[in-house]
Chains A and B, each alone.
Chain A
Amino acid sequence: MSECCGPGYASPAEAIRAPREKLLYTIAIYTGTGIQRPDYLATVDVDPDSPTYSQVIHRLEMPGIGDELHHMGWNACSSCFDDGSMSRKYLILPGVRSNKLHIVDTATDPRAPRLHKVIDGAEIKAKADLSGPHTVHCLGSEIIISFLGNAKGEAPGGYLHLNKDFEIQGRWESSMGEIKFGYDFWYQPRHNVMVSSEWAAPNTFMPGFDLEEVGHLKYGRELHFWDFEKREPVESFYLGEDGLLPLEVKFHHNPDSTHGFCGAALSTNVIHWWKDDAGKWQWEKIIDVDNEMHPDWPIPLPGVMSAILISMDDKYLYLNNWLHGDMRQYDISDPHNPVLTGQVFMGGLLGKAPKVNGVEVAGGPQMFQLSLDGKRLYVTTSLFSTWDNQFYPEIRTKGGVMVMIDCDPVNGGMKINEDFIVDFGKEPNGPSRCHEARYPGGDCTSDIWL
């Protein structure tokens, strides 16, 4: 980071050249596990030259129990690179169940983050009529957070707007239009567009997954394109059976590109969109992971692609199949024609890799963060406490794990790193479940360029 400038990097190419990550933050939960302790932010040492490599070196407990920490986001990213008054100092940790926002200072001591401020869930309900926080993005010096429900937990929720001092500014959007559900979003300022996806109402997904409710249209199947400046949705794509539970949304990192991708979790498809020569948004299905038969089960098992990630050079798309147990790497140099270039198994219900580096894996690959240079992919195994309890009940006693996969950014290919594993089953207060991960210097799922 040069001295004249704000946080992050001038361009994706600069980000790729950043120094290797030495620390990583992941949330770890006790909500729903039977252990009556707060969820926490774990600092993991990922410096191979350090004596505590591949270990949790610090734990910051939240003030209350039952938050269900889930995703996180930075107060500032490369979108503020030209603003010398901003710095990437605070990580925002929403509690999906408690509705609280925890603002954590990671800059004063990066190894031992400290709590800066808590925005109370009741205040958010009272001022913005929102609950069920999910994705955090900064936009310049402001912050917006998608919430999946109103104060009563009913869809579609909306977007909370915070200023840079973490004061509630009210709702960000001018209108939710006809949108039925919320979940993830990503924006591409040069094209004045934001794309948002759909999970379900908090009252639907929080208690667990009733597959039957998909047929009753209680889960989403649409993608929404927004006029970013006007803050309102302008076009929606009905994805139908190809797009059941469209969850994670990513644009190319290249700020000039109009190409973006969404993983439809239950259909286990990747949806690709782009703007055509006539200036119209188009979409297509580019990856379709087949269901697998489980020897003892009556219904074929979908992969459940709960996350996708694009490498900083926009060359590779990574995806998970949480129930099948595999992580995949696709070369998307031609985004219309992805090529499978790597695959590894870790856990999953098909029994293909019950142990990784000597640790029994409960759960399957779920969330992941790629190093800026595209060489190391850190993968965790828990999805959401109630859903874990349904599909992987043994995670209660075994906890989650973090695995590292070595990726070849030149020729493609993935391989599980044999020297790294963090077993959250061995945490001092009992087995916890790790989830989303972030690096202090910014990562492949946070930074956006103006």
Chain B
Amino acid sequence: MTTHTVTIANRDGATYAVNGRRPLLEQLRDQGVDLPYGCEYGGCITCAAKLIDGEVDQRRQVALNNRQIENGYVILCVARATTDITLEIGVESHDRLYRNPFLDPLKPHELKADIASPKV
């Protein structure tokens, strides 16, 4: 089975081997990484991390809007690694995850995928 290396930038560059079949949250927790989570099905954003490098398949997530995806956020409870990746984890990585909607509205293409209009 193909394995990929996960590097955690904000844990002194610690590395872990994962497969591409199972979600990252489960595999990293099994290896002792302390990660936040809630719903464990991709709907609640609690487990969001920032992807600094590499690629994941997170088609099953329904929590992120397009701006959050654009800013590099990935939903670890459903995301699978498709290459070697580097992550920033935990709430320290959430600097751009939350925004005050009255101060900083989303543009139509930045909404969630099901209601976003194409970028013009």
User: Which residues from chain A sit less than 8 Å from chain B, CB to CB?
Assistant: 31-34, 36, 65-68, 97-99, 131, 152-153, 202-203, 206-213, 216, 218, 294, 297-299, 301, 385-386, 389-391, 393, 396
Q: Determine whether the beta carbon of A97 is less than 8 Å from that of B112.
A: no
Q: Which residues of A contact B8 (CB under 8 A)?
A: none
Given A33-B91, A386-B98, A203 and B43 contact (CB-CB distance below 8 Å)? yes
Residue of B nearest to A294 (CB): B102
Q: Determine whether the beta carbon of B106 is less than 8 Å from that of A36.
A: no
Chain B interface size, under 10 / 10 to 19 / 20 to 34 / 35 or more = 20 to 34
Q: Determine whether the beta carbon of A202 is less than 8 Å from that of B44.
A: yes
Please, how many angstroms separate the alpha-carbon atoms of A249 and B102 in the complex? Answer: 26
Q: Which residues of B contact A99 (CB under 8 A)?
A: 39
B32 within 8 A of A: no
Please, how many angstroms separate the alpha-carbon atoms of A71 and B38 in the complex? Answer: 17
Please, how many angstroms separate the alpha-carbon atoms of A218 and B111 in the complex? Answer: 12
Q: Determine whether the beta carbon of A209 is less than 8 Å from that of B101.
A: yes
Q: Determine whether the beta carbon of B98 is less than 8 Å from that of A66.
A: no
Chain B 89-119 near chain A by CB (<8 Å), digits 1 or 0: 0111010011111110110100110010000
Main secondary structure of the interface of B (DSSP, over half): loop
Please, how many angstroms separate the alpha-carbon atoms of A294 and B43 in the complex? Answer: 32
Main secondary structure of the interface of A (DSSP, over half): loop
Q: Determine whether the beta carbon of A31 is less than 8 Å from that of B100.
A: no
B53 within 8 A of A: no
Given A66-B37, A393-B98, A34 and B106 contact (CB-CB distance below 8 Å)? no
Residue of B nearest to A151 (CB): B41
Q: Which residues of B contact A211 (CB under 8 A)?
A: 101-102, 105
Among B38, B65, B105, max chain A CB count under 10 A is at: B38
Please, how many angstroms separate the alpha-carbon atoms of A264 and B45 in the complex? Answer: 25
Please, how many angstroms separate the alpha-carbon atoms of A67 and B98 in the complex? Answer: 20
Q: Determine whether the beta carbon of B106 is less than 8 Å from that of A206.
A: no
Taking the nearest CB of chain A, how far is it from the CB of B64, in angstroms?
A: 7
Given A212-B106, A218-B115, A206 and B63 contact (CB-CB distance below 8 Å)? yes
User: Which residues from chain B sit less than 8 Å from chain A, CB to CB?
Assistant: 34, 36-39, 41, 43-46, 62-65, 90-92, 94, 97-103, 105-106, 108, 111-112, 115
Subset of 29 A-B contacts with CB under 8 Å: A31-B46, A32-B36, A32-B91, A34-B91, A34-B92, A66-B36, A67-B38, A97-B39, A98-B38, A98-B39, A131-B39, A153-B43, A153-B62, A202-B43, A203-B43, A203-B63, A207-B43, A207-B63, A210-B65, A211-B102, A298-B102, A299-B102, A299-B105, A301-B102, A386-B44, A389-B97, A389-B98, A390-B98, A396-B91
Given A209-B101, A210-B111, A212-B111, A34 and B90 contact (CB-CB distance below 8 Å)? yes
Q: Determine whether the beta carbon of B101 is less than 8 Å from that of A210.
A: yes
Q: Which residues of B contact A213 (CB under 8 A)?
A: 111-112, 115
Q: Determine whether the beta carbon of A203 is less than 8 Å from that of B62.
A: yes
Taking the nearest CB of chain B, how far is it from the CB of A204, in angstroms?
A: 8
Residue of B nearest to A153 (CB): B43
Q: Which residues of B contact A209 (CB under 8 A)?
A: 101
Please, how many angstroms separate the alpha-carbon atoms of A33 and B94 in the complex? Answer: 11
Residue of B nearest to A95 (CB): B38
Please, how many angstroms separate the alpha-carbon atoms of A328 and B36 in the complex? Answer: 36
Given A34-B92, A216-B111, A208 and B45 contact (CB-CB distance below 8 Å)? yes
Q: Determine whether the beta carbon of B41 is less than 8 Å from that of A153.
A: yes
Contact partner of A297 (CB less than 8 A), chosen from B41, B44, B46, B102, is: B102
